[in-house]
Structure 1
Amino acid sequence: MNHERLNPEKKDILIIDDTPDNLRVLSSLLTKQGYNVRKALNWQMALIACQTVLPDLILLDIMMPEVDGYEICQRLKSQESTNDIPVIFISALDDVFDKVKAFAVGGVDYITKPFEFEEVLIRIKNQLSLISARQEILELNTQLEIRVRERTFELEKTLHKLQQEINERQHLQNKLLDIVLHDSLTGLPNRVLFIKRLDKALTRAKQEQNYQFAVLFLDCDRFKVVNDSLGHLVGDELLVAIARRLQQFISPFDTLARFSGDEFAILLENITDIKMVTKIADDILKQLYLAFPLSRYEVFMNASIGIILGNKDYEKSEFLLRDADTAMYRAKAMGRARYHVFDPIMHQEALKLLELENDLRRAVERQEFIICYQPIINIKNRDIAGFEALIRWQHPTRGIVPPADFLPVAEETGLMNQINFWVLQSVCETLCQWQKYPEIKQKLKVSVNLSPKIFLQTNFLAKVDQILHDTQVDPRSLDLEITESALMENSDSVKTILKELQARQIKLIMDDFGTGYSSLSYLHSFPMDALKIDKSFVLRMLENQQSLGLVSAMINIAHSMGMGAIAEGVETQEQLAQLQKLNCDFAQGFLFSVAIAPELALDLLLSAPQW
């Protein structure tokens, strides 16, 4: 069946009326108005007409044979194809009941016969306008639905794309966060992530009375030796192997982190007591003691471990790490390859050390040091052969600080070279003043102790030459005391410097002989003029023959190699007499004098004492 319109531009009107005159009159009038008009005398003709072409509007008479207008309208409204066609009833029935019934069965309007054509035309136009309006609304709705579907599809695509971008960005953020919070070499948490977890543990300890945790701070011993000798690639491989071995001792609730270089930290949570922590530290040390089979080398490594028990009284996690680090350095100082548990006293000691370091830096700037002189006696004629210059620190509040309390700090902080050059300058100035006295022998010598690190100074010889030039001191009056360790470290470069000093006629003394390497094989390599026997041997030489034999051997070694022998720490006449029997050349110690101020040393010289 064809339900299309005859002409979309000309509206199609179907008139259903059993009176031919009515059909003819209406048809003629409407046709003149430009409508396409079709006629049906009964229901059957009306149905065929609708099945052929759907009309835009139906004019329906009520009084029809067999099937009246009400029934025809109901039938049209009951069919899906015709239920939307507007029906205008045209009837001679003028009763309200008839009109109501007409509207009840689906009619849209009601025209009473006899009718005025203008009224019919207006009502037709109104209904057709409504149809057009509804059609436009339907089309607009259809277009709107299409546009909504299109926009919805585009929005869904945009949302999908946006979600993909969000997912990619989140993935990138997670990756960047992982990079920021983890060590790139070992894959372990780094310092930042460790501190975050330590913060949580500290917060939990403040909230939960029974919760305990501990921090282990681990520093590899001798790692620098491996790195410098075998290369950084091997060093990196070793760090990864160490990390894997340490992971054996970590539960899923604990944290192992690499801080930097060869430093690792472990956060142990839910511990029961300190024994549990020290047991883990012991197990770690045993595992690290075993060889590390790397790709090209087999390497041995150990570590020093500092332990701190978590304490809710700590304000910040950084303070916990500070104390764990302090305990680790104490373990190193005690011999390495061990652990040490932090004691609050250690923190006070560290604060004192820091205060001492700060004061020492100011002391160098303000030249708060003084030099005291201890006489060195010629054992044969018992008169003064020279002095050893010994530095003291005149602290503004502590008074005199002995060298044993501040020289190690000066070495660690890099201040020792400045102090050494200052001492050398001051000694040469004092020696220059002393040599102006005619009563003083021109052969008087003053010895100055040098730090091993001063030989690493590239301008060391230039500084010595400058001091000698400025003070005009005879170089033959100057002795430089050097420890065995200084000779062994960078021995080739040190040997060159010592020969340069000897060429300037400066005498060289090996200090504390017997306490270091004491290998006769290297003594031949260095141009030394004398050996100074450490006071620990002198103090014990009268106790037994073994100690006495050691002192005798040292004196004989010095003489056999053309060197003088100086015994330090002489406190009794018996010791002096024994040294004289052993043919020792020089001696110094409390028997003769303590270290005294320059003016007192000058008085002592001028008095020409004999012992």
Structure 2
Amino acid sequence: MNYERSYFEKKDILIIDDMPDNLRVLSSLLTREGYGVRKALNWHMALTACQTLLPDLILLDIMIPEVDGYEICRRLKACRLTADIPVIFISALEDVFDKVKAFQVGGVDYITKPFEFEEVLVRVENQLALRTARLEIFKLNAELENRVKERTSQLEKALYKLQQEINQRQQLQTKLLDIALHDSLTGLPNRVLFIKRLEQALNRAKLESDYHFAVLFLDCDRFKVVNNSLGHLVGDELLIAIAHRLQASLSPFDSLARFGGDEFAILLENITDISTAIEVAECILKKLSQPFKLFRYEVFINASIGINWGNHNYEKSEYLLRDADTAMYRAKALGKARYHVFDPAMHQEVSQLLELENDLRRAVERQEFVVHYQPIICITTGAIAGFEALIRWQHPTKGLVYPTAFIPIAEETGLINHINIWVLQSACQTLRLLQNHPATNKNLNSLTISVNLSPRLFSLPNFLAEIDQILDETKINPANLELEITESLLIENSDVIKTILYELKERKIKLVMDDFGTGYSSLSYLHSFPLNTLKIDKSFVKRMQENQQSMGLVPAIIGIAHSMGMIVIAEGVETQHQLTQLKNLNCDFAQGLLFSGAIEPELVLNLIATAPQW
């Protein structure tokens, strides 16, 4: 049932009056004005008319039998469908009380009989216009409310979507932060997060005098061997297993982090003294000493641990970690698979080493090195047979620095390659000068020069080319050049090294095994590599006269060398008795302080000129 009409449709007016004449007159008047008019004599007819079609306006008489106009108006206003229809009372009652009552029950206007037609039309038009306006406002309000509801719904959906995006972004940020602060392999905190926690611990220690902590820095021993031999996947599996064992050695209040590679750091908080940290380190070493049963392999590995007490005087947390790292390296130097507690003196040593390294790099650039030469004596003739080139560093402030102080650093930093090539070139130039110098009046064509080579040189792709270039520039006979190598070179990569050594032999260069007897001393090396000479380490020469048992090694070494067609040089000869013993054992050559220490190049010529005999 359609109860609404548009603004341009004919307006419907319902007249309720029990007087037919009144109905006829009003109906005729309103019809002529273009209104649709319906009539009702009583309440029931009025109700039926409203149920059939809602009128736009009701003209209501008060004096109606059974149900008067006041009651009809009350009932219309009480009904939801008819409550908004304007009601104009038309009555012969002129009392103010009647008019007030009419407005109280819901009437919008009051026309007194007898009425003027023009008055009725004006009042009807006004009320219809008001109703039309109200309906339009209601419609606009409804449309506005619908638009508001729709917009609100859109905003709610947009807000919900935005909230979802915010939640997703927060989750992503949390995940990214977690990734940024944790190790992807083990899931442990990484260096960044560990340093943050360490900084918090340091700040707390500065504020609370009874709060103490310690830092442990751990590095696995020989982990690289596992990676290189079994592969990185097995290495990763081992790292995860190590992380689990370390975690099992700690309390829930301790922090464990992986720094990358095979390095781990531990923060122990709320401890009483350093003994607690030592107990944790001992527990870790014990757990790590047990075999790791991986998916396909059983692996043994251990670690070196540095311990640093959390002194509140540290300015930065990184310094705490640095000193724990220093203590760890000291543990490695002392034999690995152990712990070491940091001592402030260690930092001073490390600082001095760093300073020495920096000075060494500058020394390479400025060529601050010199070569001294120690004579090698033929035991049979007592004459000088050759010289060993020994490097010295002429430090601008520390004076003459011996190789034991800087060669290990040069090896570690890779500077040794440049230094070694320079020494070789200098020694060959010196040999050439000696052989061609007229002041000696002697034939020195058989004089040899011996140069120590670092194992690192053999890893250079152009090593042989460097040798060839030096020989070509100095024009010395390769047979007068002796290159001293150590057993460690032969162990590392025998196939590659063997090829290079045979290349050197083809060039007529002699090869000397230095410090024989102090390493593995495997006879297989002597058979497998083209060696010309064995050098007996000075420690064996020194012990010859101490007891017969120690002396027994020297004759054995000499016998082995001679049986394999090699000559023997004894180092560190300091007494005539030692020389006599070596001569009795048929040792070929000797060098040491008994004859001369290492001397400067300009003194070598003078020594040769004196033609000494021992």
Residue 519 of structure 1, CA deviation? 1.9
Match of 1:396 in 2: 396
- Tell whether 2:557 aligns with 1:554: yes
Give 1:466 deviation, angstroms: 1.1
Q: What residue number does 1:490 align with?
A: 493
Q: CA deviation at 1:506?
A: 2.1
Shift of 1:390: 0.8
* CA separation of 1:423 and 1:20: change in aligned 2, threshold 3 A: same
Counterpart of 2:426 in 1: which secondary structure?
helix
The residue type equivalent to 1:330 in the other structure is R
Q: What is the Cα deviation at residue 75 of structure 1?
A: 4.2
Question: Is 1:454 the counterpart of 2:457 in the alignment?
Answer: yes
Q: 1:557: how far off?
A: 2.3
Q: SS of 1:150's equivalent?
A: helix
- Alpha-carbon shift at residue 324 of structure 1 (Å): 1.8
Q: Which residue of 2 aligns with 1:143?
A: 143
RMSD of aligned alpha carbons: 2.4
The residue number in structure 2 matching 1:288 is 288
More off after superposition, 546-555 vs 362-371: 546-555
Equivalent in 558, 579, 591 of residue 588 of structure 1: 591
Instruction: Tell me, yes or no, if structure 1 residue 374 matches structure 2 residue 374.
Output: yes
1:95, CA displacement in angstroms?
4.3
Secondary structure of the equivalent of 1:455?
A: helix
CA distance in 2, matches of 1:595, 1:128: 130
Aligned CA distance change for structure 1 residues 60 and 458 (closer, same or farther; 3 Å): closer
Aligned to 1:195: 195
Q: Secondary structure at the match of 1:524?
A: helix
- Distance in 2 between residues matched to 1:574 and 1:90, nearest whole Å: 156
1:452-601 correspondence runs (5 A): 452-601=455-604
Residues 3 and 52 of structure 1 are in contact (CA less than 8 Å); yes or no, is this contact kept in structure 2?
A: no
Q: 1:17 touches 1:61 (CA, 8 Å); kept in 2?
A: yes
Structure 2 vs 1, CA of residues 65 and 295 (structure 1 numbering), >3 Å: closer, same or farther?
A: closer
2: CA distance between counterparts of 1:187 and 1:491?
A: 40
Alignment of 1:70-81 (within 5 A): 70-81=70-81
Q: Is the 8 A contact 1:13 1:36 kept in 2?
A: yes
Distance in 2 separating the partners of 1:469 and 1:44: 136
Distance in 2, matches of 1:494 and 1:41, equals: 130
Amino acid paired to 2:443: K
The alpha carbon displacement at 1:376 in A equals: 1.7
Say whether residues 1:440 and 2:439 are aligned partners.
no
Quote the offset at 1:330 in angstroms. Answer: 1.0
What letter corresponds to residue 256 of structure 2 in structure 1?
A: L
Q: 2:610 matched to 1:607? A: yes
Which one is further off, 179-188 or 463-472?
179-188
Listed as ranges, the gaps of 5+ residues in structure 2 are none
1:277 offset after TM fit, Å?
1.1
User: Secondary structure, in 3 states, of the residue corresponding to 2:540?
Assistant: helix
Is 2:215–2:309's contact at 8 Å kept on the other side of the alignment? yes
Within 2, Cα distance between the matches of 1:287 and 1:67? 105
In the aligned structure 1, how far is the partner of 2:239 from the partner of 2:6? 91
Residue 303 to residue 96, structure 1, CA distance change in 2 (3 Å): same
Name 2:365's counterpart in structure 1. Answer: 365
Q: Is the 8 A contact 1:191 1:257 kept in 2?
A: yes
Partner SS, residue 400 of structure 1: strand
- 1:291 aligned partner, one-letter code: P
Taking a change above 3 Å as real, the CA distance of residues 332 and 6 of structure 1, as seen in their structure-2 partners, is closer
| Aligned partners of 2:250 and 2:280 also within 8 Å | no
Which is worse superposed, 279-288 or 197-206?
197-206
CA-to-aligned-CA distance 1:524-557 (integer Å, 9 cap, x gap): 2222222211111112211111122222222222
> Is the Cα contact below 8 Å between 1:288 and 1:301 reproduced in 2?
yes
- Counterpart code for 1:170: Q
Instruction: Give the conservation status (yes or no) of the 8 Å contact 1:5–1:55.
Output: no
Q: How far apart are 1:196 and its partner, in Å? A: 2.9
For structure 1, the 5+ residue unaligned runs are none
Q: Aligned partners of 2:506, 2:80: CA distance in 1, in Å?
A: 126
Output the amino acid matched with 1:272: T
**In the alignment, is residue 321 of structure 1 matched against residue 321 of structure 2?**
yes
The residue number in structure 1 matching 2:425 is 425
Counterpart in 1 of 2:167? 167
Question: Are the aligned partners of 1:434 and 1:440 in contact in 2 as well (CA < 8 Å)?
Answer: no
Tell me, yes or no, if the aligned pair for 1:11 and 1:56 is still in contact at 8 Å: yes
Displacement after TM superposition at 1:413 (Å): 0.7
1:232-268: CA deviations, max 9, x gaps? Answer: 2222222222122222123322222222222222222
Cα shift at 1:372: 0.8
Q: Tell me, what secondary structure is at the counterpart of 1:177?
A: helix
Superposed, 1:211-226 pairs within 5 Å as 211-226=211-226
Q: Which moved more, 1:590-599 or 1:500-509?
A: 500-509
1:310 paired to 2:313: no
> 1:397-432, CA deviations, whole angstroms, 9 ceiling, x for partnerless residues?
111111100001111111111111111111111111
Shift of 1:52: 5.2
Once the 2 structures are TM-superposed, how far is the Cα of residue 47 of structure 1 from its aligned partner? 4.8
The alpha carbon displacement at 1:68 in A equals 4.8
Q: 1:62 to 1:547 in 2, by over 3 A?
A: same
User: How far, CA to CA, are the matches of 1:221 and 1:5 in structure 2?
Assistant: 94
User: Distance between the aligned counterparts of 1:410 and 1:7, measured in 2?
Assistant: 103
Contact persistence 2:14–2:40 (CA under 8 A): yes
Shift in alpha-carbon separation, 1:375–1:129, aligned structure 2, 3 A = same
Cα drift, residue 300 of structure 1? 0.9
SS of the residue aligned with 2:24? helix
Corresponding residue for residue 15 of structure 2: 15
CA distance in 2 between counterparts of 1:459 and 1:6 reads 104
Q: Distance in 2 between matches of 1:363 and 1:110?
A: 120
- Paired AA for residue 190 in structure 1: N
Q: Which moved more, 1:355-364 or 1:522-531?
A: 522-531
Paired residue for 2:116?
Answer: 116
CA distance in 2, matches of 1:444, 1:303: 50
2: distance between equivalents of 1:556 and 1:278? Answer: 51
Q: Is the 8 A contact 2:43 2:72 kept in 1?
A: yes
Distance verdict in 2 for CA 1:267–1:5, change over 3 Å? closer
Q: Relative to structure 1, is the Cα distance of residues 152 and 402 closer, same or farther in structure 2, using a 3 angstrom cutoff?
A: same
Structure 2 Cα separation of the partners of residues 380 and 296 of structure 1: 61
Aligned to 1:271: 271
1:132 and 2:132 equivalent? yes
Q: 1 CA distance for matches of 2:55 and 2:90? A: 17
Change (3 A) 1:114 1:465: same
* Alpha-carbon distance change, 478 to 120 in structure 1, aligned in 2, over 3 angstroms: same
Offset of residue 499 of structure 1: 2.5
- Give the match's secondary structure for 1:23: helix
Q: Structure 2: how far apart are the matches of 1:6 and 1:509?
A: 121
Q: Secondary structure at the match of 1:555?
A: helix
3-state SS of 2:34 partner: coil
User: How far did residue 559 of structure 1 move?
Assistant: 2.4
Contact 2:12/2:57 (8 A) holds in 1: yes
- Structure 2 residue 245 is matched with structure 1 residue 242: no
SS in 1 for 2:528: coil
